[in-house]
Structure 1
Amino acid sequence: MAIVKSTIQQQVADAIAAIEPNDRPVATIQTITGPSPWLTNGVLGLIGQLMVKYYFVTLTHRVVVIHRTSRISNRPQEVLYVIPLDQARASISDVRRNTLWSSLRFQLPNEPKPTRMNIHRMWRAEMDTFVGALLGGAPGVPGQYPPAQAPAPGQYQQPQAPVPGQYPAAPPAAPYPPQQPGGQYPPAQAPGQYPAQGGNPYQS
């Protein structure tokens, strides 16, 4: 099982490169859905673990990619969602930066309400990078972030210098294909496209 953060980040970067070589991660966070882990891990025990899902959520230079996470190997599995940046900016809300377990809410495609995603302090620096880069600015108040909104033309820019927890800039590439309803790409894949929801990028 991968438990070293740098190893996990590399596995996610490799998984993205395997299905979209022209994109690069900016920040990856590991999340656990559901109520506070204090409740699901402690009070509810095994039953609580059945209520949650594990995801890798990655901001790239072009989209937000959400992988399912293997509970056994802690490796990225299939791509569940590929979300354009503008849609992702409008989908994030209620960011809470805490000592041990931080959280944010993210509106996933086809879900009736935003999903709470809990982030362990091991990933808090990456969460700061993720939220700050996605929303286009650093927190104005400790633990608080500006509300999600579409930036003015030219407002969002790729980082100009390496920052801890970030990856190098992606090479120039053509835009992603048009997004389909539900955050999915067409089932018929062409070179450079992500698989449809539920597809496994590790199968030939």
Structure 2
Amino acid sequence: MAVRKAATIKQVEQTVLAMDPTDPALVVFGVFLDDSPWLSCLGGGLDADTYFVTATARSVHFHQVRTRGVGQRPGGLVHSFDRDDTARRMGEVRRQLLWSSFPFALPGHDAPTRMHVRRAWWKEFARFTADLDAAAARR
């Protein structure tokens, strides 16, 4: 069970590699969906949906987070999008003191869902958004 961030990333990378050995993970970060990020930061938002987002050269995958004890592991695949579709679904990133947030249009939802990225994942999230921006500029 992964407790450290590096171990968690490794587990998610292995899960993605098992899905398609020809398309390894380039970047992994965590997001949570909660109406009140402050409540989540204080430990009260335990019911928040939490996902690992993994970008590969061809796709972006959302895996549910499984929590056991003090660690987190990747669970089942919830959504998978091609890179161009991901860029179209993602709205403007807003930076806050403890988390960043962005709207993302998930299938089956009437309005975009606000996703929050904790500060611990900002470096990976910055790589993800920079890569999406660069891909959009090449089009």
Normalising by structure 1, we get a TM-score of 0.62
Secondary structure in structure 2 of the residue aligned to 1:127: helix
Which gives a bigger RCO, structure 1 or 2 (Cα 8 Å, sep 6+)?
Answer: 1
Gaps of 5+ in 2: none
Residue number in structure 1 paired with 2:88 = 90
What are the Cα deviations for residues 155-200 of structure 1, in whole angstroms up to 9, with x where unaligned?
17xxxxxxxxxxxxxxxxxxxxxxxxxxxxxxxxxxxxxxxxxxxx
Partner of 2:27: 27
Q: Which amino acid aligns with 1:64?
A: V
Cα offset for 1:41?
4.6
Match of residue 99 from structure 1: 97
The within-5 A match list for 1:108-123 is 108-123=106-121
Give yes or no for contact 1:25–1:58 (8 Å, CA) kept in 2.
Answer: yes
CA contact (8 A) 2:100 2:118 kept: yes
Partner of residue 140, structure 1: none
Counterparts in 2 of 1:40 and 1:123: CA distance versus 1, 3 Å: closer
Q: Distance in 2 between matches of 1:78 and 1:36?
A: 25
Instruction: Tell me by how many angstroms 1:16 deviates.
Output: 0.6
What CA distance in whole angstroms lies between the structure 2 residues aligned with 1:58 and 1:114?
19
Q: Is 1:65 aligned with 2:69?
A: no
CA distance in 1, matches of 2:122, 2:41: 19
Please say if residues 17 and 25 of structure 2, whose CA atoms lie closer than 8 Å, have aligned partners that are also in contact: no
Q: Which has the larger radius of gyration?
A: 1
Equivalent in the alignment of 2:46 = 49
Q: 1:93 to 1:78 in 2, by over 3 A?
A: same
For each residue in 1:132-152, what CA deviation from the matched residue of structure 2 results, as whole angstroms up to 9, or x when unmatched?
A: 111228xxxxxxxxxxxxx36
Distance 1:9 1:40, change over 3 A: closer
Alignment-mate amino acid for residue 77 of structure 2: V
1:54–1:71 contact (8 Å) kept in structure 2: no
| Paired-residue identity, % | 33
The CA distance in 2 between the partners of 1:41 and 1:29, in whole Å, is 17
SS at match of 2:31: strand
In the TM superposition, 1:123-134 aligns within 5 A as: 123-134=121-132
Superposition deviation, residue 71 in structure 1:
2.3
The structure that is strand-richer by fraction is: 2
RMSD of equivalent CA atoms: 1.9
Quote the residue 1:178 is aligned against: none
Contact 1:93/1:104 (CA < 8 Å) preserved in 2?
A: yes
> What is the TM-score when the length of structure 2 is the normalising length?
0.88
Please tell me the residue identity of whatever aligns with 1:53: D
